Amino acid sequence: MNEFLAKIYKEANQLKTLTIEEHTNHLIQRIAELKKYDDRICRVVDNEKGFWDDLKIVCLLHDLGKVSPQFQNKLRRIVGFRYLQSNLKVEIPHNYISPVFTIGIYNSLKNDNQRFLSIFFSIAFHHDRKIDFDEKELTQAINELKCFLEQILSYIKEKIPDYRLEGELKNFYYSYLKSYLDENNEIIKKVKSSSYYILLKGLLHRLDYSASAFLPVETERIQNTTQFITKYLNIKYGVNELKTFQKEAEKYRENNIILTASTGSGKTEFALNWLGNDKGFYTLPLRVSTNAMYERVCDIFGSDKVGLLHSDSLFYEIESKDAEIFSFETTLNKINAARQFSLPVTICTADQLFTSVFKYPGYERIYATLAYSKVILDEPQSYSPKTLAMIIRALEEIAQLGCKFCYMSATHHPFVIEKLKNICEIMPPELHQESKHKISLIDKPISESINGILSKYSESKKILVICNTVKQSQELYTNLKEKCINNLRVNLLHSGFIKKHRLSKENQIKTNFQKDEPVIWITTQIVEASLDIDYDVLFTEIASLDAIIQRMGRIYRKKGRTISDKDNPNVYIYTKYPSDKHFIYNKEISQFTIEAIEKYNEKILSEEDKQKLMNEVFDVNKIYKTSFYKEFVNAYLLLEYGFQSQNKAEAQRLFREINQITGIPESIYSENENLITELIEKTKSNNLEDKLFAISELNNFTLSVPTFSKSYSAEPIFKNSSKDKSIYLILGEYTEYLGLRIEKFNNFL
């Protein structure tokens, strides 16, 4: 058996081979690593010993179809080995040949058909490939294995002593393969939806992927979580013990929980303490906030225990490391470990987990992992109604498998609480008692805010202005710059800057609020949740209440900063003619927001008031006819009725609602054409390190525009197999100070 090839891989630019026996042994050895979470996994399955036996069986049998001469010759051709004789003209994927060996366990499981089918289908569909062969061709492929049968049986019996093959290998299962895809077959549907099958197939994927990557499937669990958190708080803030509500987390470790906690109250430490020594996934809406949380959790538990997972995590790791101690190999291994879910804690964006709700082929890998893990959802109110529905539906499903989740925010949508309340413990709210925000409603468009902004600037205030669109932010910035009063310090930040300029501006906005001098930052909603800043005054366009509350969180953020009834307002909300024309923020929800907060005009808005307003504005009886709520309901019902995507890429498009093109503005391309051309050439390198560094540097010149804008070249200047990762030439005026201007698209974000 050690002569049959399973894989060819590159190491130090040299071709290496891995035999079926070697690869399979790697899988079986890694089962012991999974057993580190045996206490959690065994709660998911009824048959503890039987499950681990079955997992060993699927590992042992899953690649035996690779003994097929056709598969062997495909690899042997590459490495120059002697060919094996084959008369088969149609290539049949090995995963559809491997199940023939399940005949040796059929008799021992014939009284438990569901268990047998779980094993059978886990092996047969551990790859997603077309069944474009007929029964006769499958029989021919099986017959070609018979001359190797003695070696194969000897190998199997060495691992499974009671394995019995009565008679010859035969094609007994072609109809099984076809039935797997029959959506009306109730027996198959029952098997595919069972926790036993999901865990068995999902963990086979985990073991297979980690063995192929030569990485562990699980590393050591974190012990003494509370001590790590307490030590971190002591070093960082001089605090000697956890707050009472943070300690309470230990009592709820076996519960799904909903926590309402003010920004800055310590809900992150609460959630991490709730994890205990369990495997955990900490999700956030934005990559920027995910990166910041990753650094924070690494400081608590150590970087060897924490992984970062989002679409640009590799480039973030490359760009953020100290050049003097940077190791490409170590960084790549760390990212791959995160992609394999190998680490005890993973910080990620929600799409990395919850796209699995679409049940694309192979989704079981994620559901099986979550079945024995815990999930933290931080700031979920930032998601669109559709995305929220997908997350809620996924939470319901993984909770049935055994997953525990902590759903936490400063404010919650009441209709979400209504959906989750039957499977959750609702924690007492942890709200600031300090008065932070006093609001003033201005019955004007934000374009008329200039005098108010300048008045606050003259009082030496640090001012944050948040517009709903890039175009409005640019116009306001231009108008303020034209004032040129005493070297007015005004800056602009929005999504229409290339990455290099945007990162510089993000660093600047985080630095400016710490200085003792006035400044004005004109921004868009990208600062709502992603940047940890603390300004003095907020001027904002009207938006939905959840967005307005998020925006408020960017001022008077630090503990001890308070406002009194006698003070002037520090939040000015402009309620007329929002620049997004309700394209971004639902018109009815925005109107409900105005009506609800009018009673607080020129008054202090407490943390408790904010949640009361959320309950009022998003009350189901009020919003059930709005397009906002219909989006949530329709997306939820679609999943409840069993909608599935064809593949993972489609699931990601549906979840993330990707509708953008990445490109380089014309002027930036012209100024840096030689360097950009050189970088594009380097992306073709066979050296992975050179290639990735080139892509990373190339990304510094890029930004994203809506696909509908049609403001990009017909052909990409850098082509990727995935269109959303290709780079186009962006048509439109660009400057370092204003960013990209696309005049005819008023709603460009």
- pLDDT tens, 99-115? 999 999 988 887 888 99
For residue 88, what pLDDT is reported?
85
Indicate if the alpha-carbon torsion angle 703, 522, 602, 542 is positive or negative.
negative
For residue 748, what pLDDT is reported?
44
Tokens matching residue 548: 């307005």
What is the signed CA dihedral for 607, 610, 615, 619, rounded to 10 degrees? -170
Whether residue 68 has pLDDT greater than 90: yes
CA 240, CA 152: separation in Å to the nearest integer? 62
What are 589-598's pLDDT values in tens digits? 999 999 999 9
Rounded (5°) CA angle 733-738-740 = 40
Indicate if the alpha-carbon torsion angle 197, 200, 203, 209 is positive or negative.
negative
**Type of residue numbered 93:** P
Coil vs helix vs strand at 422: helix
Whether residue 249 has pLDDT greater than 90: yes
CATH topology of 225-426 equal to that of 437-605?
A: yes
347 contacts 287 by C-beta, under 8 angstroms: no
- The DSSP code for 461 is -
- The DSSP code for 84 is P
Q: Which of 3.10.310.30, 3.30.40.10, 3.40.50.300, 3.40.50.970 is the CATH number of 437-605? A: 3.40.50.300
Tokens matching residue 567: 């003070």
Q: In what order do the strands lie in the sheet with 604-605?
A: 490-493, 519-523, 462-466, 537-541, 571-574, 437-442, 604-605
What's the average model confidence in pLDDT over 407-418?
93
Tokens matching residue 655: 């979840």
**Type of residue numbered 132:** D
What's the average model confidence in pLDDT over 142-163?
92
Q: What are phi and psi of 519, to 5 degrees?
A: -160, 155
What's the average model confidence in pLDDT over 540-559?
93
For residue 323, what pLDDT is reported?
55
445 contacts 574 by C-beta, under 8 angstroms: yes
What are 484-541's pLDDT values in tens digits? 777 889 999 999 999 999 999 999 998 988 888 999 999 999 888 767 889 999 999 9
Indicate if the alpha-carbon torsion angle 442, 447, 448, 450 is positive or negative.
positive
734: Cβ–Cβ under 8 A, 6 or more apart, which residues? 498, 665, 666, 667, 668, 740, 741
How big is the chain by its Cα radius of gyration, in Å? 29
* Partners of residue 373 on adjacent β-strands: 279
Nearest CA to 216 out of 61, 308, 318, 344 is that of 344
Q: What are phi and psi of 310, to 5 degrees?
A: -160, 180
Res. 722 pLDDT band, cuts 50 70 90: low
- The DSSP code for 555 is B
What are 363-392's pLDDT values in tens digits? 999 999 999 999 999 999 889 999 999 999
**What are the distances in angstroms from CA 378 to CA 529, 591, 633, 744?**
11, 27, 22, 36
Question: Which has the higher per-residue pLDDT, 52 or 87?
Answer: 52
Strands 306-309 and 345-349: parallel
CB-based contacts of 146-149 (< 8 A; 24+ apart in sequence):
148/4, 148/67
Listed by start position, the domains of the chain span 5-212, 225-426, 437-605, 659-741
For residue 530, what pLDDT is reported?
67
Q: Which helix (H) or strand (E) holds 727?
A: strand 727-730
* Partners of residue 492 on adjacent β-strands: 522
| pLDDT > 70 fraction of the chain, expressed in percent and rounded | 97
Q: Which helix (H) or strand (E) holds 259?
A: strand 257-260
219 contacts 343 by C-beta, under 8 angstroms: yes
198 contacts 366 by C-beta, under 8 angstroms: no
What's the average model confidence in pLDDT over 626-645?
93
Rounded (5°) CA angle 412-415-421 = 85
Find the DSSP H helices in 193-240: 195-212, 225-237
Whether residue 746 has pLDDT greater than 70: no
Whether residue 126 has pLDDT greater than 50: yes
pTM higher than 0.75: yes
What are 259-307's pLDDT values in tens digits? 999 888 899 999 999 999 999 999 999 888 899 899 999 999 999 999 9
Whether residue 702 has pLDDT greater than 50: yes
Q: Which helix (H) or strand (E) holds 703?
A: strand 703-706
Q: Which fold has domain 225-426?
A: Rossmann fold (3.40.50)
Q: Which of 1.10.3210, 1.10.1760, 1.10.357, 3.40.50 is the CATH number of 5-212? A: 1.10.3210
**What are the distances in angstroms from CA 435 to CA 245, 432, 531, 549, 612?**
21, 8, 22, 14, 16
Res. 326 pLDDT band, cuts 50 70 90: low
Strands (E), 395-515: 404-409, 425-426, 437-442, 462-466, 490-493
CB-based contacts of 234-237 (< 8 A; 24+ apart in sequence):
236/299
What's the average model confidence in pLDDT over 608-632?
94
Name the average pLDDT for the chain.
91
